[in-house]
Structure 1
Amino acid sequence: MAESPRNEKKQRSKRIELVITPGRSLGPFRLGSTLWDTIHYLRERPNFFPSVELKYSQEEPIKYDFIIALPTNGINLRFDGTLQRMKSIECFDPTKIKLVYQNSDVSSSRTIPTFLLIYKAFGPTYPGEFVRERSVYTLKYPGLSFIFPIPARHRELYESSTDLPLEFPDGTTPIASHIYLFSNGSPNWQRATVPSLAKIVAEHNASTTLKYGKIGRRELESVKAQPGKEVVLHFPTHDSLDSRENTLTTSQVRITLQISTPQDILAELGKPSRIFYKEEDKMKIHSVTDDGAMIGRIAEDGKNDQEHNTAVNEEEEKDTSALEPTDYFFNYFHLGIDILMDGTLHVCKKVILHGNIPGHYDFQRYKRCPYQLHFPNDKNDNNHDHDPKVLVDVESDADDIGVPGDIVTADMKIDKMKKRIPWDSKNAVSVKDTSKGAQHKPVILTRGSSEQNPFGSTHLTGYDEGLVMEVMKNGHVPTIVLF
Structure 2
Amino acid sequence: MYSTLDVDIRPGLGFGIFEIGKLFSFLWGISRQVNKTGTSLWTLLDRLRHLQHVFPQVDVKYDPDSSAITPIVLHIRPHLDLLFSGKNQRLHTICVRNLRDPHPPVTLRYKDTVLSSTEEVLRRVGVSRTFGPTYPGNGLRYPGLWFSFEEEGITEGLKGSATDGRMQEVKRILISQKGNDGKGQDALDEVAECSAMAGDVASVVVKVHDGITIHFYGTAPSKLLHIRLGETTAEDLTNDLGPPLRVHYKDDERMTIHSIRRPEMGNGYFYNYFQHGMDFLLSGTSHTVIKIILHTNLPGSPMFQRYKRCNWEIEGKPEDDEDDTPPRKRFYDRFETISHFLSPREPPPSMLLDRTDEEDDLTLPSPTTRLHGYDGIILEVTESSQVAAVMLF
Are residues 352 and 40 of structure 1, via their aligned partners in 2, closer, same or farther at CA, if it must alter by over 3 Å? same
Matched, 1:279 2:200: no
Task: Identify which of 50, 53, 78 aligns with 2:83.
Answer: 78
Q: How many pairs are equivalent? A: 351
In the aligned structure 1, how far is the partner of 2:117 from the partner of 2:69? 37
Find the partner of 2:207 among 204, 226, 243: 226
CA distance in 2, matches of 1:415, 1:427: 8
SS where residue 270 of structure 2 aligns?
Answer: strand
2:164 is matched with which residue?
Answer: 165
Aligned position for 2:314: 373
Give the secondary structure class of the aligned counterpart of 2:212: strand
Provide the residue aligned with 2:99 in structure 1. Answer: 94
Q: Does 1:39 align with 2:45?
A: yes
1:419 is the counterpart of 2:340: yes
Conservation of the 8 A alpha-carbon contact between 2:202 and 2:215 = yes
Secondary structure of the residue aligned to 2:247 is strand
In the other structure, the counterpart of 2:279 is 338
Cα deviation 1:374-421 (Å, max 9, x = unaligned): 11145xx9xxxxxxxxxxxxxxxxxxxxxx772011112201212333
- Counterpart of 1:126 (choices 135, 144, 151) is 135
Compared CA separation, residues 284 and 28, structure 1 to 2 (3 A): closer
Q: Select 1:236's aligned residue among 205, 217, 220.
A: 217
CA distance in 2, matches of 1:63, 1:272: 28
1:144 match: 145
What is the 5 A alignment of 1:180-259? 180-185=174-179, 187-188=183-184, 191=187, 193-197=189-193, 199-202=195-198, 205=199, 219-237=200-218, 251-259=223-231
Q: Read off the aligned partner of 2:384 and give its amino acid letter.
A: N
**2:56 is the counterpart of 1:57:** no
Indicate if the aligned counterparts of 2:317 and 2:327 stay in contact, CA closer than 8 A: yes
Q: Which residue of 2 aligns with 1:359?
A: 300
Give the Cα separation in 2 of the matches to 1:355 and 1:197. 20
Residue segments in structure 2 that go unaligned for 5+ positions in a row: 22-38, 152-161
CA distance in structure 1 between the partners assigned to 2:11 and 2:236 by the alignment: 42
1:145 CA displacement: 0.8
What secondary structure does 2:254 align onto? coil
Q: Report if the CA contact (8 A) 1:338-1:353 is conserved.
A: yes
Which residue of 2 is the match for residue 328 of structure 1?
269
What residue number does 2:373 align with?
462
**Residues 121 and 345 of structure 1: CA distance in aligned 2, closer, same or farther (over 3 Å):** same
SS in 1 for 2:238: helix
CA pair 427-145 structure 1, distance change in 2 beyond 3 A: closer
> Which letter maps to 1:43?
R
* Per-residue CA distance 1:315-337 (angstroms, 9 max, x = gap): xxxxxxxxx93011111111110
| TM-aligned CA distance change 1:251 to 1:93, over 3 Å | farther
Higher relative contact order (CA 8 A, sep 6+): 2
CA contact (8 A) 1:234 1:250 kept: no
- Contact 2:92/2:187 (8 A) holds in 1: no
Distance in 1 separating the partners of 2:88 and 2:191: 11
**TM-score normalised to the size of structure 2?**
0.82
| Contact 1:406/1:420 (<8 A) preserved | no
Q: SS of the residue aligned with 1:231?
A: strand
Aligned counterpart in structure 2 of residue 478 of structure 1, from 384, 388, 391: 388
Equivalent position of 1:400 in the other structure: none
Q: Deviations over 1:234-292 (max 9, x none)?
A: 22337xxxxxxxxx777322111111111111111111111111125313444xxxxxx
Name the amino acid aligned to 1:142: P
1:448 aligns with 2:361: no
Structure number having the greater helix percentage:
1
Question: In 2, distance between residues paired with 1:127 and 1:280?
Answer: 62
State the distance in 2 between where 1:34 and 1:371 align.
16
Look up the equivalent residue of 2:225 and give its one-letter code. Answer: V
Q: Distance in 2 between matches of 1:198 and 1:114?
A: 32
| Preserved CA contact (<8 Å) 1:182 1:192 | no
The aligned counterpart of 2:327 is 406
Q: Which residue of 2 aligns with 1:115?
A: 124
* Native 8 Å contact 1:22 1:181 kept in 2: yes
> How far has the Cα of 1:165 moved from its partner?
3.2
Structure 1 unaligned residues grouped into runs of 5+: 1-8, 130-137, 151-161, 168-172, 206-218, 239-247, 287-295, 302-323, 382-403, 431-441
CA shift at 1:452, angstroms?
2.5
Distance 1:195 1:357, change over 3 A: closer
How far apart are the structure 1 equivalents of 2:137 and 2:315? 48
**Is the 8 Å Cα contact of residues 315 and 326 (structure 2) preserved in structure 1?**
no
SS at match of 2:387: coil
Residue 340 of structure 1 aligns to which amino acid in structure 2?
L
% identical equivalent positions: 28
Give the partner amino acid of 2:275.
H
Which protein is bigger by CA-based radius of gyration?
Answer: 1
The answer on whether the counterparts of 1:224 and 1:231 sit within 8 Å (CA) in structure 2 is: yes
Partner residue in 2 for 1:270? 242
1:347 aligns with 2:288: yes
Tell me how far apart the structure 1 counterparts of residues 224 and 333 of structure 2 sit (CA, whole Å). Answer: 25
Residue 85 of structure 1 and its aligned partner are, at CA, apart by 0.8
The reply on whether 1:260 has 2:256 as its aligned counterpart is no
Q: Is the 8 A contact 1:237 1:250 kept in 2?
A: no
Give the match for residue 168 of structure 2.
174
CA deviation digits over 1:51-81, x for unaligned, max 9? 2111111112123211100123x11000112
Distance 1:360 1:229, change over 3 A: same
Q: Tell me the amino acid that sits aligned with residue 269 of structure 2.
A: Y
Quote how far apart the aligned CAs of 1:198 are: 5.5
Match of 1:264, SS state, is helix
